[in-house]
């Protein structure tokens, strides 16, 4: 069951089920190496609701993944590990995946070691042809083989519903970082929804 909110009854439910306060439960899940996304799933909570409470209670620091990795997870709707495995299964190279995710290659390689993901990548000769070098046919830009969790229209509809940034962070179904990644800033997204009238 996915909860739409977290009231006193829900806090009591979590306390009763785990035998400890909500904060203690979250800290314990984080100590097991879970991401915020995984912890939310374990508790049966909507991600945005769980993220809001982590921020409100100062619990973000207990999760080992960096804001950048959490941003990737929020964008793709999967754990960082599953995102990387998905690209590896599609025969992408380490360098190419790092580029697609916007990560420094050396940092990405260290993450592969940390999360034991290197073994999922194929030998170079078995990779996609566009990942074998920079010769003819090498595509420009950063292709995204997996579609984003939300399209532009869905994001802008949430901006229309919650045009105030503070309200958006608390009530929107989409995390604010997704808006930043897609439109550069909340102000630019809002401008698309409520364009400034042009002077004659």
Of 74, 33, 72, give the one whose Cα is nearest residue 50: 74
Helix axes of 80-89 and 67-76: crossing angle, nearest 10 degrees: 60
Tokens 């930043």 correspond to what residue? Answer: 180
pLDDT the model gives residue 1: 36
On the 0-12 / 13-18 / 19+ scale of CB atoms within 10 A, 177 is middle
Q: Could you say which residues of the chain have pLDDT below 50?
A: 1-5, 135-145
pLDDT tens per residue across span 61-79: 666 667 778 788 888 878 8
pLDDT the model gives residue 111: 81
pLDDT the model gives residue 121: 92
pLDDT tens per residue across span 171-180: 888 887 788 7
In a 13 Å sphere around the CA of 173, the CA atoms on its Cβ side amount to: 13
State the Cα–Cα distance between residues 126 and 164, nearest whole angstrom: 49
> What is the torsional sign of CA 152, 158, 162, 167?
negative
pLDDT the model gives residue 37: 77
Q: What is the pTM of this model?
A: 0.40
């Amino acid at each position: 069951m996915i909860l739409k909110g977290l009231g006193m009854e829900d806090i009591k439910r979590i306390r009763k089920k785990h035998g400890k306060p909500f904060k203690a439960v979250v800290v314990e899940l984080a100590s097991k190496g879970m991401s915020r996304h995984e912890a939310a799933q374990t508790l049966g909570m909507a991600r945005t609701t769980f993220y809001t409470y982590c921020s409100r209670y100062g619990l973000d620091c207990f999760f080992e993944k960096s804001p950048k990795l959490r941003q990737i997870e929020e964008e793709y709707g999967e754990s960082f590990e599953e995102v990387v495995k998905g690209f590896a299964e599609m025969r992408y190279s380490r360098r190419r995946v790092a580029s697609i995710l916007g990560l420094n290659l050396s940092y990405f390689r260290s993450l592969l070691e940390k999360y034991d993901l290197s073994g999922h990548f194929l030998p170079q000769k078995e990779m996609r042809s566009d990942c074998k070098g920079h010769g003819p046919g090498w595509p420009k830009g950063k292709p995204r083989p997996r579609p984003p969790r939300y399209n532009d229209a869905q994001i802008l509809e949430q901006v229309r519903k919650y045009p105030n940034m503070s309200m958006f962070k608390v009530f929107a179904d989409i995390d604010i970082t997704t808006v930043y990644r897609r439109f550069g800033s909340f102000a630019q997204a809002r401008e698309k929804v409520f364009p400034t009238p042009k002077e004659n």
